[in-house]
Amino acid sequence: MGITYSAKIIVGRPYEDIDFQGLIGEDQDPLDFVWDNDFDQASPYYDSPQEECLIGVTLLSSSCYSFEEIPEEFKNGVEEAKKRFYDFFGIEAKLYLSVHGS
C-alpha cells in the first residue's frame, strides 16, 4: 500500500471554520457527516487529522503530475457549489486549490 497525492479544486472552507456542533449529534463523526451529505474533504497530507482538512464540494480532482485543462463548465460549477455550501453550512465558501494525500 502506497501513499498517493492528487490535486483538488474545492469550494468550501477549512474544517476549523465550520461549526459542526450546531449541525451534528454528539456521537457523530464530523467527516462521516460531511460524506453522508455528499460533501468532500481534502487532506493536506497523508493521514492528516480532520481538523487540518478542507471541507466542501470538489469540482475537479486530478492525480496527473503535469497539467490538465479545466472545462468551460467550471465557472458555473463554482457559483453552484458556493450556494450549496452556504445553504448547508451557513457560511460563505471560498475557492481552493489543494493537495490531497491518501
Q: What is the pLDDT of residues 39-52, one digit of tens each?
A: 998 888 788 888 89
Structure confidence at residue 3 as a pLDDT band (50, 70, 90): confident
Task: Tell me how far the alpha carbon of residue 50 is from its chain's centroid.
Answer: 11
Q: How many Cα atoms within 13 Å fall on the side-chain side of residue 67?
A: 2
On the 0-12 / 13-18 / 19+ scale of CB atoms within 10 A, 94 is middle
| pLDDT mean over 10-33 | 88
Q: Which pLDDT score, from 0 to 100, does residue 54 have?
A: 93
| pLDDT mean over 9-22 | 91
Euclidean distance between CA atoms 40 and 42, whole angstroms: 7
pTM above 0.95, yes or no: no
Q: What is the pLDDT of residues 66-79, one digit of tens each?
A: 777 888 888 789 99
Q: Domain limits of the chain?
A: 5-101
DSSP state of 83: H
User: What's the angle, vertex CA 88, arms to CA 80 and CA 18, rounded to 5?
Assistant: 110
Please determine, for residue 1, whether its predicted confidence score (pLDDT) is greater than 70.
no
